[in-house]
C-alpha cells in the first residue's frame, strides 16, 4: 500500500516538463499539465488511506478551513495516530477496566493540538531556501526548521558500507546527481538540538528533545497549499525506530 499511494501522489503531483511532443498513447487516466492537484488540501488528505484519519481529526478540530488556506501542512499519517492511541491505551495511562481510548474519546483540548501541523505559506523544494526556513505554526505553539538536503541513502543500507551513508552498493552512488530530500526538525523544548549527537546526548525519548524526520511523501501541491507527510527519523540508522507519534505523545516504553 505504501508503494501504491506514493506512486499515486507522485504521478498526480509531478509534471515532466521535458517531453518533446504531446503524448497520445496514454492508457487510462488523464494528463496533468501542471505541477499541482486540482483538489484542496483537506480533500487530498481525506482521499488517501494513509491520511484519511488525519483529515478526520482536522475536521473534528474545526480546522478544515484553515488547512484549506495558504498554508503548508506537515501531516502525520495513520501510523502516527495508531501509535498515539496505542500509547493512550497502555497500562501507563489507562487504568485497568477503563474503556478503550479511541478517536471519539479525544477532547476539544486534544484536538486543538492539530494546529501544530499547520504552517503559513507554501514551502516545497522550489521555495525552501538553501539554508532552510524556520516556521511557527499558525497556532503559535510549534516551531520547526524545514530543509531540503542532499542525501546519499541510508546509514547501514548496504552490507559492505560499514554502517555509513553513501558507502557500498547504494543506489545514489550510481546516479548522475545527488538526490534531495525534505526534512523537518520539530523544536520540542527551550533549545534547538540541531545535530543527532545533541539529540542523543539529551535522550531521544526526552520530552524536550527535538524530533527530526524525513517525509513519507513530500511536495504535494494542492489548489491552496502544500502537503508533506511525515515518515521517520533518519539522522542515524538507530533513529529509524523513532516514527512520529501524534502530538509526540508518550515514549517508546509505552509501545508495549
- Residue 171 is predicted with a pLDDT of 61
Quick check: 220 and 230 in contact, CB under 8 A?
no
**What DSSP assignment string belongs to 87-115?**
HHTSTTTS-TTSPPP-GGG--HHHHHGGG
Q: What is the pLDDT of residues 206-233, one digit of tens each?
A: 999 999 999 999 999 999 999 999 988 8
Q: Is the pLDDT assigned to residue 7 strictly greater than 60?
A: no
The full DSSP string for the chain is -HHHHHHHHHHHH---TT-SS------SS----SSS-SS-HHHHHHTSTTTHHHHHHHHHTT-HHHHTSSEEEEE--HHHHHHHHHHHTSTTTS-TTSPPP-GGG--HHHHHGGGGGEEES--STTTS-TT-EEEE-TTS--EEEEEEEE----TT-SGGGTT-TT-SS-GGGGSSS--EEEEEEE--SSS---SHHHHHHH-TTSTT--EEEEEEEEEEE-SS-EEEEE-B--SSGGGGG-B--GGG-S-GGGG-
Q: Are 120 and 97 in contact (CB under 8 A)?
A: no
Q: What is the spatial order of strands in the sheet that 180-186 belongs to?
A: 118-120, 71-75, 226-230, 211-221, 180-186, 143-150, 133-136
For the cut 60, the answer to whether the pLDDT of residue 1 exceeds it is no
Rounded to the nearest 5 degrees, what angle is found at the Cα of 231, between the Cα atoms of 228 and 234? 115
| Domains parsed from the chain with CATH numbers | 2-17+29-249 (2.30.180.10)
Beta carbons of 141 and 115 less than 8 angstroms apart: yes
Indicate whether 110 pLDDT > 50.
yes
| Phi, psi (deg, nearest 5) at residue 211 | -120, 130
Query: CA 77 to CA 45: how far, in whole Å?
Result: 9
pLDDT at 157 over 60: no
Q: Render pLDDT for 191-204 as a digit per residue (tens, 0 to 9).
A: 999 998 999 999 98
Query: Within a 10 A sphere around the Cβ of 109, how many other Cβ atoms?
Result: 7
Closest CA to 49 of 110, 103, 6: 6
Task: Write the pLDDT tens digit of every residue in 16-41.
Answer: 333 334 545 545 555 555 568 999 99
Strand partners, 71: 120
Percent over 70 (pLDDT), the chain: 75
d(CA 158, CA 167): 7
Distance, in Å, from the CA atom of 154 to the CA atom of 240, rounded to the nearest integer, reads 10
Amino acid at each position: 500500500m505504501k508503494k501504491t499511494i506514493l506512486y499515486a501522489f507522485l504521478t498526480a503531483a509531478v509534471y515532466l516538463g521535458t517531453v518533446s511532443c504531446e503524448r497520445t498513447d496514454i492508457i487510462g487516466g488523464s494528463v496533468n499539465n501542471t505541477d499541482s492537484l486540482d483538489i484542496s488540501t483537506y480533500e487530498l488528505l481525506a482521499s488517501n488511506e494513509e491520511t484519511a484519519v488525519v483529515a478526520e481529526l482536522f475536521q473534528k478540530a474545526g480546522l478544515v478551513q484553515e488547512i484549506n488556506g495558504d498554508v503548508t501542512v506537515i501531516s502525520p499519517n495513520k501510523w502516527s495516530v495508531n501509535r498515539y492511541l496505542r500509547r493512550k491505551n497502555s497500562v501507563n495511562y489507562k487504568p485497568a477496566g477503563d474503556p478503550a481510548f479511541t478517536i471519539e474519546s479525544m477532547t476539544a483540548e486534544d484536538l486543538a493540538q492539530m494546529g501544530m501541523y499547520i504552517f503559513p505559506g507554501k514551502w516545497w523544494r522550489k521555495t525552501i531556501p538553501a539554508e532552510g526556513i524556520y516556521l511557527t505554526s499558525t497556532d503559535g505553539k510549534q516551531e520547526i526548521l524545514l530543509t531540503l538536503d542532499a542525501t546519499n541513502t541510508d546509514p547501514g543500507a548496504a552490507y559492505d558500507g560499514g554502517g555509513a551513508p553513501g558507502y557500498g552498493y547504494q543506489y545514489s552512488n550510481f546516479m548522475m546527481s545527488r538526490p534531495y530530500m525534505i526534512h523537518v526538525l520539530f523544536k520540542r523544548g527551550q533549545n534547538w538540538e540541531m545535530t543527532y549527537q545533541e539529540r542523543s546526548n539529551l535522550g531521544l525519548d526526552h520530552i524536550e528533545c527535538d524530533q527530526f524526520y524525513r517525509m513519507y511523501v513530500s511536495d504535494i501541491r494542492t489548489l491552496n497549499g502544500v502537503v508533506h507527510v511525515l515518515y521517520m527519523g533518519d539522522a542515524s540508522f538507530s533513529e529509524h525506530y523513532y516514527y512520529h507519534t501524534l502530538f509526540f505523545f508518550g515514549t517508546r516504553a509505552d509501545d508495549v
